[in-house]
Chain A
Amino acid sequence: MGICYIPPDTRKPYYFIKPWINYLQDKNRINKEEIICYHCGDICKEGSVTKEEKNFCCKGCKIVYEILDENNLCKYYSIDRNPGISPKVRSEIKYEFLDDVQIKKQLLDFSDGNTSMASFFIPQIHCSSCIWLLENLYKLDAGITHSRVNFPEKKITFKYLETKTSLRKISELLDSLGYEPLINLDAAEKKGRSSHLKKLYYKVGVAGFAFGNIMLLSFPEYLGLEKFSEPGFHKLFGYLNLILSLPVFFYSGSEYYISAYKGLKNKIINIDFPLFLGIFVLFARSVYEILAQTGAGYMDSMTGLVFFLLAGKIFQSKTYGSMNFERSYKSFFPFSVTVIKTGKETTIPLASLKKGDRIIVRNNELIPADSILFKGDGNIDYGFVTGESLPVQKVLGEIISAGGRQAGGAIELEVLNDVSQSYLTQLWNNDVFTKEDTSRLQSFSNSISKYFTIAVLMLAAGSAAYWMPYGLNIAVNVFTAVLIVACPCALALAIPFTYGNVMRIFGRNKFYVKNASVIEKLSKISSVVFDKTGTLTQSGKSEVVFRGRALSDYELMLIKSVAKNSTHPLSRKIYEHLTGFETIEVKEFAEITGKGISGIADGNKILLGSELFASGNPNAAKIRTFGKSSRVYLSINGEVPGKFEITNSYRGGLAETITRLEKKVGLHLLSGDNNNEAEYLENLFRQPHQLRFGQSPEDKLEYIKGIQFGGNVLMIGDGLNDAGALKQSDVGISVSDDVSNFSPACDGILESGSFTKIPDILEFSRLSVKVIITSFSISFIYNIAALFIAIEGMLTPIVAAILMPVSSISVVVFSVVATNFLAKRKKLS
């Protein structure tokens, strides 16, 4: 086992910060408090190990280092600083199910029996070291022939030889390195997501090719050179233009005809209908002119229009690959479960789990269905469902509802309900999830295009009627010219470029929206509904302060020992706060609901609880909230040295955010929690009657439905228990500490650090709609000017060829510049 030597590499930018990193690490070695793990960068606490002068926070990290060291892969540590993932946070998922032929078939992208190809989603991918290591996997497993990382999608695609390795072995290898692949039912169901974008690229390629060449061939026309050239060229160029435009008309533009047709079928004139009209008239008239030799046609305008429209579509289709906005509970549930059948453990796919089955759930595994605890100590973490991270203790015979995660030893359970009928999952049987997503809001472009189309058709017919006495030919010319000129291409461009740019600006502010229409919906919000736990509060964080006389280490040790025995959230918080102390056995432990806990540790009687309970003072209050903190009084052998103040930590800048929001929209709060902190929250919100506590997931959904009569609702939540409300609301935003981690189905994901930007985001969405209206006015001026030309019967190809791109480009430039400018002013850039 050689010590890795990494030669300094001056070509890399991080070389220059290397001495600084070394300095930091040296300093850490001296100061024992801040030793950083060489592998994962965590602070080393108790139980840290050292090897070859490198510190590791745990054995797991050291093992990963050793694997890499043995295989000469230590460069991993030189690309990014402390790049590893601590195996502490990893679950112990078993991969036996990957040997199942059926499951394997679902997961493999391709297999010829010998070579197979598959891809895994690995949320832990976070830096360039990750890319490097995962692309060098073949050094760790000779069966892997090739591996590629897609960083934005956090995906690894690999080819391997079935004879030398297996999907299971590769998964176990990845897991042992800290890159736990996320394999779930959804992963198998969704494939070929990017195919739509690929088609758009094909179409824009074809349109761009035709547009460029047709413009080139139309140059003699623009410059009026046809008089000087041989008459044959004129004909030849016309036919060439016609041939080049055919794929554009029939292939590239096809999306617009389909969309317009679909709209008409639903009795809606959408924005694509006038576009279709424009494209069709341009094409038909050009074909006629070329074949009848009456003119050069407007093929350049037609292809240019299609090209710009498709480019706008691509610009707008900015997607966040690693995020998934369509998750149902299937994304979070494991692929398979371990069941006991006739005394033997076997893995079966989750779908075939039945009522009455006996299952085994190991440490960190998810409970897939409501069940009864049969064997073992249940210590269930519902953080995933409610956002509350304190585990709940369960005893034998108790019902454990689905969605919890076991923390501790393996437990045996008997399944009570089918997976789809469990407490948590039946939320997905609600109508909101089953019916097609029909937005209540009609988009701005669609509502405008109806009047626009009717007005244009009437204008075209009117001017045709006016020219009729001068001959049918002229009348048809004018009719088509009006339709060509009035084609709302500028409007069709203003929308994708404005929203596409706004999406990018939001992305820079750590707010990721599903698609562009969300921005328009956000601009029409009149009420905002918050969830409490995990949304207004920081998940899993609370502050514990002791007020009173200083306690000795011995006393703290006694308190910790007593608190350890209780599952009450406040006791757990005190227990977690007192790190670095051993615990001893506690005798005569008692927990009195609503009052507190007591116990004798090392002969000392410790009481923790309300003031009345601890001090015996009859005038004292019960445990209650003072502002936003709870107080727990302490008594040691009859003496009351002071109290613990436990503050649920609300997000920074919360009060300010709420005050700003209240000026514009109505605010509501739906909490699944009890009303412990009602007092603090009532002071925070101006309309305290709109705060609801103890709400079930269904209650939340119904509440949203109720207030939707009064306007459009934005729901901001985080847990799976908000999933129904997020779906029912007009816009659902989920708040997450790590955006690539879990989030329920929603329209947008907000990184928790950007929570205070919510008022700005709403304001900016409103402004962006104003930008579109302004762009539309600009394009309207062009249209009116062009209409005069057209009605006068003077629309020559050269005028059309100049007008079309100039109006389109100026609208695009305006919308992008205006949104960027406004973002800067709103400090969102």
Chain B
Amino acid sequence: MSVIVVLIGISVLVAGGFLIAFLWAVKSGQFDDKYTPSVRMLFDDDEKDETKK
């Protein structure tokens, strides 16, 4: 049954990893603006097309 101890340890570590990822995301400002990225992803960066006349 001691395998449970290992599993518990891993599960807490994985969850902790997600917690750290979340805190990092907040810190880096990913929750500051939840609207603009949804528009930004629709822009293409194909500059070649534009320079065509």
Contact = CB atoms under 8 A, between A and B. Distances in A.
B49 A213 contact: no
B33 A151 contact: yes
A150 B15 contact: no
A151 B35 contact: yes
17 contacts: A5-B53, A11-B42, A135-B43, A150-B32, A151-B36, A152-B34, A194-B32, A202-B23, A205-B22, A205-B26, A209-B15, A209-B16, A209-B19, A216-B11, A229-B1, A233-B4, A240-B12
Contact of A149 (B4, B34, B36, B47): B36
Contacts of A3: 53
A12 interface: yes
Contacts of A441: none
A72 B49 CA distance: 10
Contacts of B33: 150-153
B6 interface: no
A2 interface: yes
B31 to A, nearest CB: 6
Contacts of A131: 36, 39-40, 43
A71 B15 CA distance: 49
B35 to A, nearest CB: 5
Interface of B: 1, 4-5, 8, 11-12, 15-16, 18-19, 22-23, 26-27, 31-36, 39-40, 42-44, 47, 49-53
B53 A198 contact: no
B50 A74 contact: yes
A217 B5 CA distance: 11
B32 A128 contact: no
B41 to A, nearest CB: 11
Given A9-B44, A128-B42, A213 B36 contact: no
B52 A5 contact: yes
A201 B39 contact: no
A205 B23 contact: yes
Contacts of B15: 209, 212-213
Interface string A200-233: 0110011001001100110000000000011001
Interface of A: 2-7, 9, 11-12, 72, 74-75, 79, 128, 131-132, 135, 148-153, 194, 197-198, 201-202, 205-206, 209, 212-213, 216-217, 229-230, 233, 236, 240
Given A206-B19, A236-B5, A151 B39 contact: yes
A7 B8 contact: no
Contacts of B36: 131, 148-152
Nearest to A12: B42
A550 to B, nearest CB: 52
A152 B37 CA distance: 11
Pick the most buried of A3, A205, A212: most chain B CB atoms within 10 A of its CB: A205
B39 A128 contact: yes
B19 A205 contact: yes
A198 B4 CA distance: 36
B21 to A, nearest CB: 10
A12 B44 CA distance: 10
Contact of A7 (B12, B19, B42, B52): B52
Contacts of A233: 1, 4
Contacts of A213: 11-12, 15
A135 B41 CA distance: 12
A72 B35 contact: no
A117 to B, nearest CB: 13
Interface of B is mostly: helix
Given A198-B27, A236-B5, 20 more contacts: A4-B50, A6-B50, A7-B49, A7-B52, A12-B42, A72-B47, A131-B36, A131-B40, A135-B43, A150-B36, A151-B36, A151-B39, A152-B35, A153-B33, A194-B32, A205-B22, A213-B12, A213-B15, A217-B8, A233-B4
A6 B47 CA distance: 11
The 9 A-B pairs of least Cβ separation, nearest first, read: A151-B36, A209-B19, A201-B26, A150-B33, A2-B53, A205-B22, A128-B39, A152-B35, A72-B50
A217 B39 CA distance: 42
Given A131-B39, A205-B19, A75 B50 contact: yes
A245 to B, nearest CB: 13
Nearest to A148: B36
Nearest to A130: B39
Nearest to A139: B47
Contacts of B53: 2-5
Nearest to A72: B50
Nearest to B21: A205
A132 B27 CA distance: 25
B40 to A, nearest CB: 7
Contact of B31 (A79, A149, A198, A240): A198
Contacts of A72: 47, 50-51
Contacts of A197: 31
A198 B26 contact: yes
A148 B44 CA distance: 16
Nearest to A205: B22
A10 to B, nearest CB: 12
Contacts of B39: 128, 131, 151
Nearest to B46: A7
A148 B35 CA distance: 13
Contacts of B44: 9
A361 B52 CA distance: 47
Contacts of A236: 5, 8
A217 B9 CA distance: 11
Nearest to B27: A198
A132 B47 CA distance: 13
B28 to A, nearest CB: 11
B31 A201 contact: yes
A149 B18 CA distance: 28
A9 B46 CA distance: 12
Contacts of A194: 32
Contacts of A148: 36
A6 B44 CA distance: 12
A75 to B, nearest CB: 6
Contacts of B22: 205
A812 B42 CA distance: 35
A215 to B, nearest CB: 12
A233 B31 CA distance: 39
A202 B26 contact: yes
Nearest to B31: A201
A334 to B, nearest CB: 28
A217 B15 CA distance: 13
Contacts of B16: 209
Contacts of B34: 152
Contacts of B18: 209
A558 B26 CA distance: 67
Given A72-B51, A74-B50, A212-B15, A135 B31 contact: no
Contacts of A2: 53
Contacts of B42: 11-12, 128
Given A5-B52, A209-B15, A135 B8 contact: no
A279 to B, nearest CB: 21
A44 to B, nearest CB: 26
A766 B19 CA distance: 40
A212 B40 CA distance: 34
A814 to B, nearest CB: 27
A152 B50 CA distance: 28
Contacts of A202: 23, 26
A2 B52 CA distance: 9
Contacts of A151: 33, 35-36, 39
B40 A135 contact: yes
Contacts of B5: 236
A66 B15 CA distance: 55
B30 to A, nearest CB: 10
B29 to A, nearest CB: 8
A201 B19 CA distance: 11
